[in-house]
Chains A and B, each alone.
Chain A
């Protein structure tokens, strides 16, 4: 009898944590794991969703995908878009954060500049798209200013010209996203002990040396997290691109996200869209694994 009571007690103690975890696990299973499994499953069938009994086609969708030249264009454009966006988010975010962290500016001044610099992040993608479509239109304010200063002779079609479209879209995304870096880095900068700078100053370190030997190493964990998150978010960016150019002109700004949308919602090729989505999943998973490894190594 005693032994049985002990057994029940042990079972209760062991099962309690799982009971607490159960709701979260159930939610994760329903909202994250199941959709991912479904999308992966769809990618091995033909005509999913549009007919009741889709046919299993193995890797055929992936083979078609890798033979599709537009897919490779979208990969190349996504790489450009993500690479430059993350790089300039980092540079601008760091620059503005350091400006806002300076001791030469009063509290009021800092508050005003913080509000100004953070503004792009407050706007939704649709507002940003409308704003920049107006400014970048051939008869928009940007061309007016450039013409007024004699910098261009004729109107430039920033979004309609294949030569400029990808750069323009990337520029808008950089503008929209740097405040996230700025705020996070600013928080990190404020957490660095001033003792470190004072000690290095006594040792004769100049500002550049302090930046590379103290600031960057101290911010490294934050920077890695930011870069990782930004990489994933920018890879998935859809709304801004869709509303600015729709992936055009021709395929000049076609990204993986717009490519997937078109496959699914204009061609009804949900299986191909799923296969493309799996590619994005793999890319983002690789980034996540890299992040976890770096974090583990740091710990």
Chain B
């Protein structure tokens, strides 16, 4: 009898624990969220917590904020920022901070299982898929619900006429130059056209141990196609989309850009290891003085100056196609914000987004991130930023911001298929650039049909 009782008790306990695991842990947060919680960021631990209990508004709501920003910002900065929101509203914010690639995977998994964090950091290339899937909320509606003025926003990423992502920060991709290498190579004039750039790069390779330029084309993160290959196209006023459809075949600007990149490879000016190089590797190559020119996010400036404090760095406009005289486009990437459709706290989530985009907070955020604001009325004080940053800001201002992948369906897969076709062309498997672009367009077309 005792045995039986024990068995029943065991069954009961295990069944209960299973049910507990399956539950959602209340309406605060998904119970099985895979991301690591940034302990320092949990507002329970903010220094003002005890005082705030008496005076600050209180709320039972805890919002999860999943993003990669916490990893890239100075330590503790994001936690301090969100604690101000808690002080103002009483709403707790739990930061889930992971590197970019992990964040993407976790948000993707959350979208598939309706367990997304309430507020999510988004990249423009993810928006179409999440919006199409119904995983993120219509922000046009939410902004109206809380009475948020969208005229202050620098941009809104839309799907079928409604906003689904609001960029909080804009990161420019200017061309970094290692001035020490250029001096060693005997280069005094900065290249402004493609032919000058190839000549300068060849001079670098001939007179130093460094390479001219680096293109990271690794398969797992194919953003090199966007940031270091198509940047050349956009800088020369070219486009790969026309009327909402891919325009690759017969696109003379794209053909010229691809041939230019191939020339750089054939002339041996590209840093070795491109085919499995990641953006991070490229930045390290540059920081270690092995690459003279690099197109990279301005956000990397802090990392580079910290890693190589004695290096003389400069910024130049991305050289353009010989003969091009128009305005240049500069690649931008965003730290965007969205609200999970599965969040039970839609309005509170939108209030948090409004807070992050308020002029004062947005200014603080972009200064810390070495970025440009998402609120047109933000007035970031870059006076404490390195003079180099201001140089880059000047270049950014005389160019126009562009990223044609933002909002495209399965944007990352489009980059990946273009990446593969580009590699086949660079490696000699595809004979002509025309064939390469035809193959890419054939792989892209079904996505747009």
Residues of A within 8 A of B (CB): 12, 16, 19-20, 22-23, 26-27, 30, 49-52, 133, 137-139, 155, 157, 159-162, 165, 242-251, 262, 265-268, 270
Contact = CB atoms under 8 A, between A and B. Distances in A.
A248 B11 contact: no
A249 B272 contact: no
Interface in B275-290: 275-277, 281, 290
B438 interface: no
Interface string B110-154: 001000000000000000010011100000000000000000000
Given A137-B281, A251-B420, A268-B133, 9 more contacts: A16-B4, A19-B11, A50-B132, A138-B273, A157-B276, A162-B427, A248-B276, A266-B413, A266-B416
A249 B423 contact: yes
Contact of B18 (A30, A52, A159, A266): A30
Interface string B409-429: 010110010001001100100
23 contacts: A20-B7, A20-B10, A23-B11, A26-B15, A49-B112, A50-B112, A51-B133, A138-B272, A157-B273, A160-B273, A160-B274, A246-B220, A246-B221, A246-B276, A248-B218, A248-B219, A248-B420, A249-B219, A250-B424, A251-B420, A262-B413, A266-B410, A266-B413
A178 B395 CA distance: 54
A267 B276 contact: no
Contacts of B273: 137-138, 157, 159-160
A133 B281 CA distance: 10
Nearest to B10: A23
A16 B7 contact: yes
B18 A265 contact: no
- Interface pairs A-B: 8 shortest CB-CB: A246-B220, A248-B219, A249-B275, A138-B272, A246-B219, A160-B275, A23-B14, A19-B7
Contacts of B112: 49-50, 270
Contact of A50 (B133, B281, B416, B424): B133
Contact of B220 (A26, A155, A247): A247
A244 B218 CA distance: 10
Contacts of B129: 50, 268
B176 to A, nearest CB: 19
A245 B11 contact: no
B108 interface: yes
Given A162-B427, A247-B219, A267 B15 contact: no
Given A266-B413, A270-B112, A161 B275 contact: yes
A265 B217 CA distance: 19
Interface of B: 3-4, 7-8, 10-11, 14-15, 18, 104-105, 108, 112, 129, 132-134, 217-221, 272-277, 281, 290, 410, 412-413, 416, 420, 423-424, 427
Contacts of B220: 242-243, 245-248
B133 A165 contact: no
A138 B285 CA distance: 11
Contacts of B10: 20, 23
Name, among A247, A266, A270, the residue most crowded by chain B CB atoms within 10 Å (CB to CB). A266
Contacts of A267: 410, 413
Contacts of A49: 112, 133
Given A50-B132, A139-B290, A246 B218 contact: yes
A19 B4 contact: yes
B23 to A, nearest CB: 13
A250 B8 contact: no
Contacts of A160: 272-277
A244 B277 CA distance: 10
A49 B115 CA distance: 13
A160 B424 CA distance: 13
Given A162-B427, A242-B220, A268 B275 contact: no
Contacts of B132: 50
A34 to B, nearest CB: 11
A266 B123 CA distance: 14
B433 to A, nearest CB: 17
B306 to A, nearest CB: 20
Nearest to B274: A160
Nearest to A18: B7
Nearest to A265: B108
A71 to B, nearest CB: 15
Contact of B218 (A27, A245, A268): A245
A112 to B, nearest CB: 35
Contact of B272 (A19, A50, A157): A157
Contacts of B281: 133, 137
Name, among B112, B219, B416, B427, the residue most crowded by chain A CB atoms within 10 Å (CB to CB). B219
A248 B275 CA distance: 8
Nearest to B13: A23
A164 to B, nearest CB: 11
B8 A19 contact: yes
Contacts of A137: 273, 281
